[in-house]
Structure 1
Amino acid sequence: MAMVDALGNLVRFVLMPGQRNDLMGVRPRIDGISFDALLADKAFDANWLRAAIFERGAKAVIPSRKNRKTQIDFDAEMYKWRHLVENYFAKIKEFRGIATRYDKTDDSFRANINLTATLIACR
């Protein structure tokens, strides 16, 4: 799970277990970061997350899941900027070791992500 800023630069990331929902890793990632809006996909559509974002005075730009009884409106124009996250993942996958999950341990993979993020930021 990765968070990028408005320019598409990595802010924070965490490796989540494959069997774990990414939604569980959101609360610790947004602590200590100020933002005006949080853009996320449908997987992050949860009432508690929307409430936490609202309490911070920020805007939740998250489309509702299909199975939600009452669909919640979101800013579709602002949501288009979520492509910056997808672009970041495309950038890190340019590095063969990241794209092929070459590292055997979480620590070495995490180190490679940090190294890759540094190289991307220096471009």
Structure 2
Amino acid sequence: MLEGQAASAVIADKAYDSNGFREQIAVMNAEAAIPSKRNRKVFISHDLAHYKDRNRIERCFNRLKHFRRFATRYDRTTIHFTVAMIWIA
């Protein structure tokens, strides 16, 4: 998932808390803002300020999903996408 990507931080939820995924992030020289799962024997700390940004991004996508035509792509013509993107901006 992260091959060829560059970032200073990777923000994810507990589902992505695995040693392999954290190693990929370390190879990128990025910070992992991933809370530890409950079953992890040694908890790994994460930056709460970065993790709060994940919530903002998730709320933005959920807000966009409220617009059914945008979420399900009913209007597939170029003019509809152009108008929709101008309206969202």
Normalised by the length of structure 1, the TM-score is: 0.56
Instruction: Give 1:44-59 correspondences, 5 Å limit.
Output: 44-59=16-31
- Bigger CA radius of gyration: 2
Instruction: Give 1:1-123 correspondences, 5 Å limit.
Output: 27=1, 30-97=2-69, 98=71, 115=81, 119=85, 123=89
Amino acid at match of 1:87: R
Root-mean-square deviation over aligned CA pairs: 2.7
Amino acid at match of 1:51: E
Task: Give 4+ residue runs of structure 1 displaced > 6 Å after superposition.
Answer: none
Normalised by the length of structure 2, the TM-score is: 0.74
Amino acid at match of 1:54: A
Task: Show structure 2 runs of 5+ residues with no match.
Answer: none
Kindly tell me: are residues 41 and 80 of structure 1, through their superposed partners in 2, closer, same or farther at Cα, counting changes over 3 Å?
same
Kindly tell me: are residues 91 and 57 of structure 1, through their superposed partners in 2, closer, same or farther at Cα, counting changes over 3 Å?
same
How many pairs does the alignment contain? 82
1:94 shift after superposition: 2.2
Partner Cα distance (2:62, 2:56) in 1: 10
Partner Cα distance (1:36, 1:121) in 2: 31
